[in-house]
Structure 1
């Protein structure tokens, strides 16, 4: 998993982004390409973005939503399992 910050993402011109209601939203497809990770579980909103001079509706997410999804442990749903309690 790449260690990055929102400041790095905001400066990168390859990632389409839009500011809406004082918050930055990033194109989920561009973020998947940049991070080389599957982000299909991230909560998204569809916003209009100007891409190459054309207005397109794009699935977007905030930096907080993306980071929350990336930091989730693979077996988080099994925290209370019997195996974990045995010691």
Structure 2
């Protein structure tokens, strides 16, 4: 997992971002390219973004939502069924 901070992401010009209601939202498609990771499970909202002079609706997420998803343990969903301790 690539270690980054929000300050680095905010300065990067290849990532489309928008400030909405005092909070920054980042394009999930751009973040996937930047991190080279799949972010399919991140909670997202669709916001209009100006991309090369054209307004497009993009799936976006906050930095906190992206980090929460990235720090999730890979087998967390299976803990109760597959990795159950036998008595």
- Distance in 2 (CA, whole Å) between partners of 1:83 and 1:52 is 48
Deviation (angstroms), 1:76: 1.3
Tell me: CA distance 1:2–1:57, structure 2 relative to 1, closer, same or farther (3 Å).
same
- Tell me which protein shows more helix as a share of its residues: 1
After superposition, the CA RMSD in angstroms is: 1.6
Structure 2 residue aligned with 1:59: 59
Q: What TM-score, normalized to structure 2?
A: 0.90
1:41-87 CA-partner distances (Å, limit 9, x unpaired): 0001000000001111000000000000000001113445685758x
What is the count of residue pairs matched by the alignment?
86
Q: What TM-score, normalized to structure 1?
A: 0.90
Unaligned 5+ residue runs, structure 2? none
Structure 1 residue aligned with 2:43: 43
- Distance in 2 (CA, whole Å) between partners of 1:51 and 1:83 is 45
- Distance in 1 (CA, whole Å) between partners of 2:31 and 2:82 is 37
